[in-house]
Structures are given as C-alpha cells and as structure tokens.
Amino acid sequence: MPNPQNQTPMIALRGVTKRFPMTLANDHIDLDIFGSEIHALLGENGAGKSTLMKILFGFYRADAGEIQLNGKSITIRSPRDAHEYRIGMVFQDLNLIPAFSVAENIALFLPDLKAVLKPQEIDERINEVSKQYGLEVNPRALVSQLSIGEQQKVEILKLLLSNARLLILDEPTRVLAPHEVEALFGVLDNLRKDGYAIVLITHKLKEVLECADRITVLRGGRVAGSLLRAEATEEKLVALMFEKELSGLKIAEPKRDEMSTPVLELRGVETYVEGAGMSLKGINLQIRPGEIVGVAGVSGNGQKELCDVVLGMELCVRGEKYLFGKNLTNRPVGAMRKNGVSFIPENPLAMASVPFMTVLENMALTQTWRYARNGGFAMDWGVVKADIQQTAKRLEFPVNFYTIAKSLSGGNLQRMVILREMTHDPRLIVASYLTRGLDVQSALAARQALIQAREGGAGVLLVSEDLEELFTLSDRLLVLYGGRIVGEFKPPETDIYQVGHLMTGSKVEHVANG
C-alpha cells in the first residue's frame, strides 16, 4: 500500500473477513487509515463497504482479522468500545431521534454527560464546535424540523463532541443537494486540517476526486486497489470497480404524438397536509406518452406530496386527476397500480419494502392479484421469479430471491425496488430520487431503463435534486417551490442557474404560471 509519509496509520485493518449466511461480505481486507486524511471508500453496490465500516465501529464482529490503533492491536466488540477508541460513524440512514432537539440528540452521546443536564452549557459547547468547523445549527431546533443536510451536520457534530478522531461517513452525500455537498466538503476539509481521519463512502466519483487524499476500491468483498489522489482518474477508478466497461447513456429520440391523450393529467390539484409537509396548490400538469417530465426543487417543497397525489396516497382536496383520460381522482393506490402506475420512492426501506420478507415476497407485493392462483389460495412464485428475472437481465441487476430484504445493502435494496417497478411495462412511472445510493453502473442502468420505458410510450414523472440528471433525461422540466409549480421549461431553453434560482424561491413573481 502506498505510504509516502512513512508514518504509522491511525487505524490499520489486516485480513478482516466477514461472512453472512449467503455472502462473503469482506474477504481478507487490508486497509490503512491515516490522520489528517480523507480516505474514500468506493465500490459497486454490495461490495462490502458498509459492512467493513460497521466492523470497525463494533456493530458487527469480524470472523477473522485484526484491527490496529496506532500500531497496537485492539478488539472492538461494540459501538461502545469504538467510542473508547475514538471512532465514530454516521450510518447510511441517519440515526437521530426526531422528537428530540439538536442539543438533546447530541447530549445523549457526550462522554461526560452529567446526571443533571445543563442545557446552557451543552448549547455553548455545541456552538463552539459548530462555529469552528462551519457546522452552524440551532441547538434548540427539533430534529424533525431540520432538512436532511442539517441533520447530517448534527450527526457530525455529535461525533465531534463525543471526541471521535476517526469519522466514518457512510454515503453522506446521497441525500444532499449540490450546495449542501459543497458545504459538507468545506467542513471535512477543516477537520482534515485539524488532524481528524475521515472515511468517506460514496458512489460519486467526482466527489472522490475532489476531496479524497487516498482512495480504496472494494470489489466483491476484496480490495481491488488503493490509490493516492494524484494517481487516480475517473477511468482508473471505474476500471477497478467494475468488471465491465461503462457504456454511455443511449438516448433515442422518442416518437411522441403531442395530440394523444396524456398519460397523466392533473387539473388544479390541491392537497391539505397537517403539520410538517407542504400542501400542493393549484397544480396543473400533463405528461404525454413517451415523455419524461422532470421535477426540480429543493426537497420539502412538495415533491413527496406530488408523487403521493399521483399514486393515490394523498387526497386531492380540490382538482382532478386523469389517467389516460379516465378520471381517477382520489381512487385508492390499488386502483392506480392496476392501471399501470409504478412508484419508486425516495426511501426504499421505509416506503417500498417489507424488511423481514424475502426479496421474492417483496417482488410480488405490488401485483398480488396477478400472481394469485386458485382464487387466492396459492401464489405462483415461479412466475414472479420469471417476470423479475427478465427485467433483471435487461437492467443487468443481480437478484438473490431468498435473502431477507433487510439484509440487502443500501444500493441493492434500491435496485430491488427499481426491478419490481420496471416489470410489467408500467404506463406511468413516478420516480423520486431514482439513483439514490446506486453505484455508477447501476445508476446508468436505471436511467437507461427510464429511457427505454419512454420509448415504449410510458410517461415518467422524475423527481430529483440532481439537476444534471434532470437536464439529461427530461423532455420537460418543472420547478416546484412552496407547493406550486413556479417554472416550466424545455431543458435546451434554460440552464442550471435559472432553474437553481427558481428552486430557492427567488424570481417567483417572474414566472407564476401555476
């Protein structure tokens, strides 16, 4: 392993091996993590990144191998031990208590927490550290009211105040908007200067090349290679990550008939949401067959509600919803599904899958009526498998039907949901953060699948914060702000800056066509 400074690593992993009932997740992994460095961990979905870091954090026990701290061998049996050794981790799905304030969440992890809390003192300590590293948050705010980006900051603050020196961040940028990513990297840069060691798991190569000092690529549970940033290029990393070369996105011109009945039409739709959440106001929207309509917006501006209204989860208090000219306003989700509506939600674990069921069972859930036999007294699992396998072949996603959904890696779970929702030739696909958590190759395949669906005449509603993705895929682009559509463009007629402006609410008066 390259080590030009010739110093002892803060943490060294030697021969770490972890086997799960069905998979060898980590296979004799060696890894060096140095202080004052950002170490990026790359690898395709299911390569074993999260597992390796959970071992380091004491969440799993390795079957074999050794962990060294500053050259001395240590045993980490639990997150509590990891705490002792000043190792901290932010999980793939954040782990804060929503009903608690920021200060309370952080206080829970203070190593020197007193029996009687002194809120004033805790606030001060938080403020001190947050100023130092540019992690400003209001300690008194409730976590449930924070954006994902702010919650991310709280997680990092929590680690810093608990005295961690090694910070493990599992896909922190997955849910962040571009400007939030910038801010996060600024913070990481400050931390690096102060001697912290940082492990950053991500699927975005640009980010890696932008901020990492050292890059390790895992493949199939083994180390495929380890590079210093100076040696790394995007091509080299991709070659290490995948067996196959990446092909570009093949975008065929869809044949579209502007006069045909829209796949989906919303006429003056309004919703009413209590508490947190954004009510939709006066939404008019048409999606033609063979059209991808992108929805840009900072999350929390009505994206979730828009998708839910289309799916039938949320009621329209005013307005109508038509599917192929048929009025389906406020019909239940089942009716929408039967009419060919597919849904890829922003959070596959909470919103799309049943954690303790097998992948196969999960695959049948949206179409139970289709697979029921003998009037419902039996299920035809063979056909479920055949259907899914066909899609899996097309997208080149691996599937293992008999694993429990909960034990899938983050990206594999997303792939499972995409597979299911792309089967049965959906006529309308509602996709929210389609490529969240996917590796480069899978993200490409998922986008390709949308394009294929468009060629087949399906309509697509694509919600994303990734403007680049929206500009590449969309035929038409809407901007959602405060529950209204504040802009509508054809991608060639606009640019990222104009859309970015609208997303943050400036220039609202200028467009106002909703």
Where does this chain touch other proteins (CB under 8 A) — which range of 98-106, 248-256, 291-299, 375-383?
375-383
Residues near Mg ion (CB under 5 A): 50, 409-410
Complex with other proteins: residue 50 or 130, whichever CB lies closer: 50
Phi and psi, residue 306, nearest 5°: -60, -50
Smallest separation, CB 45 to ligand ATP (Å): 3
Where does this chain touch other proteins (CB under 8 A) — which range of 35-43, 360-368, 434-442, 505-513?
360-368
Do 54 and 76 contact (CB within 8 A), yes or no?
Answer: no
Indicate whether 345 belongs to the interface with other proteins (CB under 8 A): yes
Complex with other proteins: residue 377 or 497, whichever CB lies closer: 377
Where does this chain touch other proteins (CB under 8 A) — which range of 81-89, 126-134, 284-292, 332-340?
332-340
| Alpha-carbon gap, residue 429 to 311, rounded angstroms | 10
Q: In a 3-state reduction of DSSP, which class is residue 105?
A: helix
Phi and psi, residue 72, nearest 5°: -105, 135
CA-atom Rg of the chain in angstroms: 24
Where does this chain touch ligand ATP (CB under 6 A) — which range of 38-46, 110-118, 295-303, 466-474?
38-46
Indicate whether 338 belongs to the interface with other proteins (CB under 8 A): yes
Indicate whether 383 belongs to the interface with other proteins (CB under 8 A): no
Q: In 391-468, where do the E strands start and end?
A: 428-432, 459-464
| Alpha-carbon gap, residue 448 to 298, rounded angstroms | 25
| Alpha-carbon gap, residue 202 to 389, rounded angstroms | 28
| Residue window 192-231: x/- pattern of binding to other proteins, with contact defined by CB under 8 A | ------------------------------xx--------
Smallest separation, CB 357 to other proteins (Å): 6
* C-alpha atoms less than 13 angstroms from C-alpha of 192 in its C-beta half-sphere: 18
- Integer CA distances (angstroms), 73 to 261, 293, 394, in order: 68, 55, 47
Closest CA to 421 of 430, 410, 411: 430
Complex with Mg ion: residue 25 or 392, whichever CB lies closer: 25
Residues paired with residue 19 on neighbouring β-strands, in sequence order = 24
| Residue window 469-498: x/- pattern of binding to other proteins, with contact defined by CB under 8 A | ------------------------------
The single residue among 47, 364, 485, 503 that binds other proteins, judged by CB under 8 A, is: 364
Do 87 and 71 contact (CB within 8 A), yes or no?
Answer: no
Q: Binding residues for ligand ATP, how many (CB under 6 A)?
A: 17
The single residue among 158, 204, 337, 447 that binds other proteins, judged by CB under 8 A, is: 337
Do 50 and 170 contact (CB within 8 A), yes or no?
Answer: yes
- Integer CA distances (angstroms), 433 to 174, 242, 466, in order: 10, 23, 8
Indicate whether 312 belongs to the interface with ligand ATP (CB under 6 A): no
239's contact among other proteins, ligand ATP, Mg ion, none, with CB below 5 to 8 A by partner kind, is none
Output b/e per residue, 329-339; b: 16+ Cβ within 10 A. beeeeeebbeb
| Alpha-carbon gap, residue 101 to 105, rounded angstroms | 6
48's contact among Mg ion, ligand ATP, other proteins, none, with CB below 5 to 8 A by partner kind, is ligand ATP
Do 280 and 270 contact (CB within 8 A), yes or no?
Answer: yes
Indicate whether 202 belongs to the interface with ligand ATP (CB under 6 A): no
Which spans of this chain sit near other proteins (rule: CB under 8 A)? Answer: 15, 19-22, 24, 28, 30, 60, 222-223, 311, 313, 332-334, 336-338, 343, 345, 350-357, 361, 364-366, 368-369, 371-372, 376-379
Which spans of this chain sit near ligand ATP (rule: CB under 6 A)? Answer: 20, 23, 25, 43, 45-51, 407-412
